[in-house]
Structure 1
Amino acid sequence: MLYAVFMSRPLPSFPESQEPFEAHQLLEFGPAPDEPGLRADAARNRARLLEAAARLIAEHGVAGVTMEAVAAAAEVGKGTVFRRFGDRTGLLMALLDHSAKQLQADFLGGPPPLGPGAPPLERLRAFGVAVLYRSAEQLDLHLAAQPEATRRYSHPATGSLRTHVTMLLRQIVPGADCDLLSHTLLASLDPALIHHLTRQCGMPMERLETGWLDLVARVTRTERAG
């Protein structure tokens, strides 16, 4: 299942007229910031390594992903993996980036209510549900790849989600501090929190989904009333 999630379709291009705010703000992360303009052969090698890593996760879980195991699965030297991703955390973050691009493609150009064509409040609800279940499916990977706080909040994938939520909030509650509100809403979708609630507290995913929808309703209703 994880293999299908990670190695799904590539991120498509969308007309700027479709989602002008998001198109300018979100379609910025492809290769990692330290990998500008990969050559075609290097891009193919990178995709091959990510495919091997995703296959290892599907077969053995995140614990089965080591630089040595990925090199062996991709039939390359271990040094190639280190040169491409730096370390194991860099490799795991690259896998999460691939999944984040799929989610971004879905909310920029997929069918409503997650994608364009539905009212912004419906899209915000659908966005949280999509992130919630995707994070739950990839909890072990998220926790293994969790960078320190400064990198975590400045990471392009995190920024793309925050930009999308901010854009929707500006349409729902104009005049509110939507930048700050987006941080508040996304905090409830943090993978570490989902791990704690589902695996340590035994909460069912349906309860978390209901909680997200209730939080969105309360935030937007309160701001409208104010």
Structure 2
Amino acid sequence: MTTAAPPPGEDRPPVLGRPAERADASRNRAKILAAAEDLVRSRGMAALTMNEVAAAGVGVGTVYRRFGDHAGLVEAMMDDRERRLQRAMSAGPPPLGPGAPAPERIRAFLHAYADVLDTYGPLMAAVEATMPTPRRYRTGPYAVHHEHLAALITEARPGADAFYLADALLAPLAAGLFTHQRQHDGMSSRRIKAGLDDLLRGFGLDRPSRR
């Protein structure tokens, strides 16, 4: 079975881009986002406030001028994290980036995205819940992730329905499900990653193809 293409008219977006900005503005933005991420990593999303981020030395006025409010800061953090993930996928070191066998790259991506969800899962789940189904699955980051996985699946298992299997691998990484498993079912990130590895074995995507 060959890889099915999406229906006509459904665009596949490129890796997300951001308009160019002044060097000093770019440095301030990077400093604020780094401080915010360090705060979340050490104390969790509940500790993320504009004042706490400003305490890193950028000034609360700068934070508000750059991001507007708490929601704008959180959106920028998730956007920045997604851009870094996409850069790692396209040009970073293997196995997440080019240079490793396709099965290793698939596994590396799934694990890396699980790490993203471990930090931002609850917020991403809230965003997912507001998105219409067609938009959620065929635009934005999901479409980029799907295209990436489909290409690697085609390389690992020529003839497989890579378009379907990419959706099947992304399904367990829906933010709502991931957050439920972590917060309500008590699953560790390690357990979820082990389950993803089991899926790869079940789909025959844990080893290079024999041509």
Q: TM-score, normalised by structure 2?
A: 0.69
User: Which runs of 5 or more residues in structure 1 are unaligned?
Assistant: 1-24
Give, as a single letter, the amino acid of the residue that structure 2 aligns with 1:28.
Answer: V
Conserved? CA contact 2:88–2:96, under 8 Å: yes
- In the aligned structure 1, how far is the partner of 2:38 from the partner of 2:186? 29
Among 100, 114, 121, the alignment partner of 2:82 is 100
- How far off its partner does 1:119 sit? 2.0
C-alpha distance 125-61 of structure 1, shift in aligned 2 (>3 A): closer
- In the aligned structure 1, how far is the partner of 2:111 from the partner of 2:65? 36
Among 69, 75, 83, the alignment partner of 2:59 is 75
Give the number of aligned pairs.
Answer: 189
- In the aligned structure 1, how far is the partner of 2:47 from the partner of 2:188? 27
Identity rate, percent: 40
Give, as a single letter, the amino acid of the residue that structure 1 aligns with 2:34.
Answer: E
Among 212, 217, 222, the alignment partner of 2:196 is 212
User: Which runs of 5 or more residues in structure 2 are unaligned?
Assistant: 1-11
Write the deviation string for residues 88-126 of structure 1: whole angstroms up to 9, x where unpaired: 333212212322333333333344333323221232123
1:157-168 matches, within 5 Å, as: 157-168=141-152
C-alpha distance 220-62 of structure 1, shift in aligned 2 (>3 A): same
Among 181, 185, 210, the alignment partner of 1:197 is 181
- How far off its partner does 1:26 sit? 8.0
Write the deviation string for residues 9-38 of structure 1: whole angstroms up to 9, x where unpaired: xxxxxxxxxxxxxxxx8863243xxxx332
C-alpha distance 203-168 of structure 1, shift in aligned 2 (>3 A): same
Among 185, 188, 202, the alignment partner of 2:172 is 188
Partner of 1:90: 72
Conserved? CA contact 2:51–2:60, under 8 Å: no
Write the deviation string for residues 111-166 of structure 1: whole angstroms up to 9, x where unpaired: 43333232212321232123223422x1xx33135423247556644333222112
CA RMSD in angstroms comes to 3.2
C-alpha distance 175-42 of structure 1, shift in aligned 2 (>3 A): same
Partner of 2:94: 112
C-alpha distance 82-156 of structure 1, shift in aligned 2 (>3 A): farther
C-alpha distance 109-123 of structure 1, shift in aligned 2 (>3 A): same
Are 2:73 and 1:122 equivalent residues in the alignment?
no
Conserved? CA contact 1:121–1:172, under 8 Å: yes
- How far off its partner does 1:66 sit? 3.1
Give, as a single letter, the amino acid of the residue that structure 2 aligns with 1:194.
Answer: F
- In the aligned structure 2, how far is the partner of 1:82 from the partner of 1:185? 39
Partner of 1:28: 15
- In the aligned structure 2, how far is the partner of 1:159 from the partner of 1:200? 28
